[in-house]
Structure 1
Amino acid sequence: MGFRHLFGAGVPVNCSAALAAYKEMAEITMREHNYYPDLLLDKDLHLISLLESRKANGKSDSAIRTELLKEAASGKSAEALFEVAKMYETGAYGMEEDEDQAFDFYLAAAENGHAGAMTQLGMMYATTSGPHRDGGERAYQSSLAEDLDTAIDWFEKAGALGDPGALNAIAYLYLHGKGVDRDVAKAAELYRTAAQAGHPEALLNWGELLLRDEAFEEALEALHQAEAQGQILASFRLGQLYEEGVDDFYFPQSCESAAAMYKRAGESGYWISGVRYGIDLYKAGLMEHAVTFLAMAAEEGYEIAQANAAYMLEHRMGYSLPDADDLALRFYDRAALQSPDHYFALGNLMLRMEMEGKSTSAVPGPVTGLRQAMGYLEEAVEMGQVQALRKLAEMYEVGEEGVLAQDTAKALGLYKRLVTLLSRSQRSERAQKIGNKLSWSSMMDIGKLQWKVTSLSAKSGLASVLHGGDKKDGEKAQEGILDVEGQVSSAAEGL
């Protein structure tokens, strides 16, 4: 209903009604996850692990489990000990849940210097959910206060090794005076350090402290960084801030912005398990069932399901009827309505269909056909989407009959913009997110693109264009040639 009211799908556009629906959905998610504004200790600090990378290489659950248990048995691999501890704690990969075993393996990993294991041990003591040794006998924690000293010891050891999760946890204790004297300044310092390391919970907590000091610009940046990493409470807090309008410039009252943030929080709730089931079916090779399951969720308005169903339909995964492209186009269009992140997929499919002589009239707009497709690609380029930059650069380099004329200078500019974007992956949050998604083959492409820039410069005599000079200006041209030579070295490094 939030989607229908926000975008007028079958009902009049009514942002207030959409906001109410998305907010209710988000509040349900908060309750399901037991999220509260002061609950800033998160046990699940190390979700991304070798387990997923090993499974991605085609190994079965039992094979991964056996391999890790064998490595852990040697007692020398801290990483294997840590992974086995997580399997025991969560019951992942067919392992039977056992907190006692989880504790022992975390302890062994910590004693081998694993900072993440130290943090997890601290969490077990601080949150009263794990076992500990007492006089040689195994016992369970009876109260938080009994073991906070031990928790703090482990947090401090992990923090000394630079683990941002441990720094975030210690900061929480200082902020609330649990086990230590309350020290807001020290808490802020620790939150800031962990936030600078990119820890999502720390970014959220640092943002909250900045809000208290009315440092709205810095708070906005921190909260959006946390939200971009999937921190659900950050999405919810941003929804509250935009709904209330706490600042006219950085957090102006905005129904649309509030609805968008509540939507993101809400879509992390119970329904996501259904989409994950569809994705699990896809991973298992059951394409027909996967696309059907995702398509049903897509019809309900869920953006993630729309994007995944559209991708499967476009690539004929589990559905090969003639109307597959029409369905994919419709789902991409609905996903793009909710997030411009899908502009490239929508424009690219629309462009292909037009060039194949297929109708794209299912997607409404002020213009139709190739102009509409190119418009979506241009929008994606303005957002810095890597695929769109590459696509348009290649199109302008060779030209597309009936679509656009060859324009070497524009191609060169787009290639330069793409290479610059990727080369800044360690300095720009947005570029870093993109860079993190690149495979090794894409890293090869970066080198190839740099060679292509060099080649285009030489062929068209546009070396000086790299510096905005007149190509007849010998000094500027020399600068351009030197820049090209630098790119050759950079390309070699990329390759």
Structure 2
Amino acid sequence: MRRHFLAFGFAVFTALPVFAVNLDAAQAAYDRADFPRAMLLFRGEAERGDARAQYLLGALFESGKAMPRNDEQAAFWYERSADQDQPEAMLALARMHASGSGVPRDASQAVSWLKQAAALGDAKGAYELSRCYAEGRGVPRDDTEAFRWLLQAALAGLEEAQLGVGRLLEAGIGTTRDDAQAMAWYRKASLQGSVQARARIGMLYQYGRGVEQDSERAIRWYRRAAADGDLIAAQQLAGLLLTGSTEVGARREALAWYRFAAEAGSAAAMRELGLAYENGATGKPDPLAARAWYESAAAVGDPIACIRLAGVYLEGRGVARSYHRALQLYRQAALQENSDALNELGRMYAQGQGVTRDYANAYVLADIAATLGSAAAAADRDGYAEKLSEEQLRLARMAAGAWKPGAPLPVLAPV
């Protein structure tokens, strides 16, 4: 007979096999919410040395269900259980050392317990150990070790580890890039219900990585993932439907998926929905709807939406022309180091649109945009240089040259 307790963090309560009559009675007491009785019975078995009872008693102390929460007592019983090679107790101790609950906070000790659990073949222990190596918690960061432990967890059948192995193989982190193997692991995770794995399978089919490119299969996998709430899958599906079909039905479905993701908070979906309305994806262009969605995306900081919306105000498309609003929006995107926004902002300074004409400021902005990879900005910058005196050019070059990614933008006065 198997029943279930609550779970805490790594894994506190898991399926409980019946080792003795008292453990069965303790489980029954827990099921009917008689937590003091359950604790009494677990304590009796724990004091007689039963490792499983020691672990479950610790979990009751940590939960605070039978009495006020007592992390110190929880850690005491977890340690006695862990000393008898109980992996769940090791995971609980790792979690407590990581947070400093009931024991001194000690990331290296947390790693030590995870290593012991992983050495016993515990998939969750291997997975959490992989995360420690990937993030440099308690051990030096080591992508190769992170992949090794993640693979161990994946081979043991842990769904999130299978998804993670696929991602590392796809990115070539800690191992050689192998899209075909990534696909294989995504399929394993998908069979266990991983929605994200289904979205990644769709992506590999869409771009022909590790498999032959197949838009129809990509659409099918995206639909499965999107139907289960994956926002990236919904956006990719919408994009494929819009670009791959001229049928009104497909385009309406695309807008529905964009709207689904947008209403769930995706700034990218809001922006793409705005573009779809601007371009008349299912009929006539709708500039009012387009602007509304651009505004929504810009309000949550999407730089591309800021640029598109700035263009709407700059040209007065469906709205009164406003250089001031365009400047604000370009600046908002420029502060995120978007090269297109920086260059467009520089052009507004050069043309005196909403600000006093200022070729020096335009030069600085264009030079930074060029540094970030904009070829158009490099050409504009050279044109601005011809408008400056030697001293103005020297100062502008100095200001632009002093800028480093992540630093505030020089000369960029508030609009």
Larger radius of gyration: 2
TM-score range, shorter chain: 0.3 to 0.5
Question: Which structure has more RCO (C-alpha within 8 Å, separation ≥ 6)?
Answer: 1
Normalising by structure 1, what TM-score? 0.36
Normalising by structure 2, what TM-score? 0.43
